[in-house]
């Protein structure tokens, strides 16, 4: 079984057929021949929900509610680490680590999983985990 992190962009793409990445992520996630366990965080769900229209938003939330993806909660004290990473990786005006990205960075540190479905290749391509590994963008 393949274990992967799931960013907000692919969530939007999966549930919006008009999204330019829809076919890519549908094939890579929903139609994959390899069984997958998907992990994400509430900030990613929130961001994707905000970007989707009402009909697609409900479909996303039903999919999450049915257990298609495991949503990892974090403690408020974990925000202190996330703030450090946000400061470290935010380089105005070109790139910024937002809360969704920081929460996935936290999740990678917690689980050891560095494979990620994202459209944010520029940022996840430059993030380095504490052990020096980079994310493997799918």
pLDDT tens digit string along 73-97?
Answer: 999 999 999 999 999 998 766 788 9
* CATH (domain of 95): 3.40.50.1010
Give the total number of structural domains in the chain.
1
Q: What is the mean pLDDT of residues 44-67?
A: 97
User: What is the overall mean pLDDT for the chain?
Assistant: 94
Q: According to the model, what pLDDT value does residue 91 have?
A: 77
Sign of CA dihedral 128, 131, 134, 136: negative
**Higher per-residue confidence, 34 vs 54:** 54
Burial 40-75 (b: 16+ CB within 10 A, else e): bbbbbbebbbebbeeebbeebeeebeeeebebbebe
Cα gap 48→100, rounded to integer Å? 10
* DSSP conformation class of 132: S
* Residue 57 structural domain: 2-137
What sections of the chain are H helices per DSSP? Answer: 8-15, 22-25, 42-51, 54-65, 78-89, 99-111, 121-126
């Amino acid at each position: 079984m393949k274990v992967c992190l799931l960013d907000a962009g692919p969530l939007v793409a999966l549930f919006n057929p008009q999204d330019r990445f829809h076919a890519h992520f549908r094939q890579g996630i929903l139609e994959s021949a390899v069984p997958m366990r998907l992990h994400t965080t509430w900030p990613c769900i929130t961001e994707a929900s905000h970007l989707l229209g009402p009909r697609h938003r409900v479909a996303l939330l039903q999919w999450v509610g049915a257990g298609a993806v495991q949503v990892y909660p974090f403690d408020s004290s974990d925000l202190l680490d996330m703030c450090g990473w946000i400061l470290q990786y935010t380089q105005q005006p070109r790139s910024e680590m937002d809360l969704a990205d920081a929460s996935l960075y936290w999740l990678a540190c917690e689980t050891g999983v560095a494979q990620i479905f994202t459209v944010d290749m520029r940022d996840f391509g430059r993030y380095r985990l504490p052990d020096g590994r980079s994310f493997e963008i799918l």
